[in-house]
Amino acid sequence: MHIQSLGLQHFRNIEAASLSLNPQLNVILGNNGSGKTSVLEAIYYLGFGRSFRSNRPSKVITYQKDSFVVFAQLEQHKIGLQKFKSGDTALRINKENVRSQAVLASLLPLQILHPEGYALVDGSPKYRRAYLDWGVFHVEHQFHGAWQNYKRLLKQRNALLKQTKSYQDLSYWDKQLVELAELVSQLRAKYVDSISQSLSQLVSEFLPEYSFELSFFKGWDDKNSLSELLSTSFSRDRLMGFTQYGPHKADLKFKFNGVNAVDLISRGQLKLFVCALILAQGQHAEQVSGNKTIYLIDDFAAELDSAKRRLLAECLQRNGSQVFVSAIEEQMLDGFDLEGCTMFHVEHGVINDYKTRVKHG
């Protein structure tokens, strides 16, 4: 899978742009504030329906404009997204309107590495669940429906908790909730199993000084069944106003030399670890679906020494995926093989395709 061309309109400081893309390496160069991250953010919008740096689409629409548009030509589909100040969204595939972002997401498997992305390791469990669910979504087709239904039932349960004094009123709903919870957790656990080996391999390549351990917490302890827990914790759930056990509490635990990752590794090592996480997912999704993941790497050089930059660049280019990488200057991309790549230069929101490196040999 790769993006052949990308169009933007009224996206942050980019008034309009039309980019013809390289199927492999795309380099985006420019000074601070020029608009490099905005290009990555626009691509991310197509795959996720949201930004990775703002919850409010109105912040992303160019000042004084009413909407932004991002569209892309993929190998077999043309996809587009328009976000309005009002909060409305229009999604299109091959000129047809579609309602669910999941359809776009399934066509465009994307992974991103950006400075705020370290929350995947040092942030709250919701970031690790989002990571996990991206992976399960792209390889297990029943997951999306089961998870959406679970979340819908959970919302109803939490609302009912505020209205009822008797667990009897909930037990009927809990039967369905537990069935979905078990399915979601099985799919997640199977997924964690299936990536753990390639993740460990990548971690040993990037951070050979540590022994690494990955574990999955499904959202409740195995000592009790979820239905028992839901009934015994009813009073507490009622008091707190929400359900305390279930897959909405799932988490991943990362340990290095037996210590929690956040308590041990440095910022640069954290970046490498996050990169190992996204590469392991991308590679697994590719093995299962045959679709290559697209990698977006913002501010590639930040926090990495030159040996680590080379290691990471080599790994990103190894399997021929499409990669978008931003940097302030070309010298910071010392680890990449730039032959045949396309370079864009961004200045005050204007993007020029200023160099396509000739491939020799």
Alpha helices (H) along 225-347: 226-232, 234-240, 261-264, 267-289, 306-318
x/- track of binding to ligand ATP for residues 311-330 (CB under 6 A): -----------------x--
x/- track of binding to ligand ATP for residues 56-75 (CB under 6 A): ---xxxxx------------
Q: How far is the CB of 120 from ligand ATP (least distance, A)?
A: 19
The one-letter code for the residue type at 102 is A
Token pair 């009123």 is found at 169
For position 37 contacting ligand ATP by CB under 6 A, the verdict is: yes
CA dihedral for 84, 87, 93, 97, sign (positive or negative): negative
Q: Is 95 annotated as a binding residue?
A: no
* Part in contact with ligand ATP (CB under 6 A); list of ranges 19-27, 32-40, 42-50, 170-178: 32-40
Task: Give dist(CA 315, CA 201) in Å, integer.
Answer: 12
Helices 306-318/168-206 angle, 10° precision:
110
Footprint (CB under 6 A) of ligand ATP, residues 216-245: none
Task: Give dist(CA 171, CA 175) in Å, integer.
Answer: 6
Total interface residues for ligand ATP by CB under 6 A? 17
Instruction: Provide the pairing of β-strand 294-297 with 110-113.
Output: parallel
Q: How far is the CB of 309 from ligand ATP (least distance, A)?
A: 17
* Part in contact with ligand ATP (CB under 6 A); list of ranges 1-9, 31-39, 86-94, 306-314: 31-39
x/- track of binding to ligand ATP for residues 276-305 (CB under 6 A): -----------------------x------
For position 15 contacting ligand ATP by CB under 6 A, the verdict is: no
Beta bridge partners of residue 7, listed in sequence order: 18, 71
Q: Is 224 annotated as a binding residue?
A: no
Work out which of 5, 18, 33, 253 binds ligand ATP, going by CB under 6 A. 33
Work out which of 1, 6, 9, 12 binds ligand ATP, going by CB under 6 A. 12
Q: Is 30 annotated as a binding residue?
A: yes
* Sequence-ordered list of residues with C-beta below 8 angstroms from that of 222, at least 6 positions apart, any chain: none
* Sequence-ordered list of residues with C-beta below 8 angstroms from that of 143, at least 6 positions apart, any chain: 133, 136, 137, 184, 187
Q: Kindly report the backbone phi and psi dihedral angles of residue 358, in degrees, each rounded to the nearest multiple of 5, phi listed first.
A: -70, 135
> Residue numbers of the site for ligand ATP (CB under 6 A)?
12-13, 30, 32-38, 59-63, 299, 328
Binding-site residues for ATP sit at 30-37
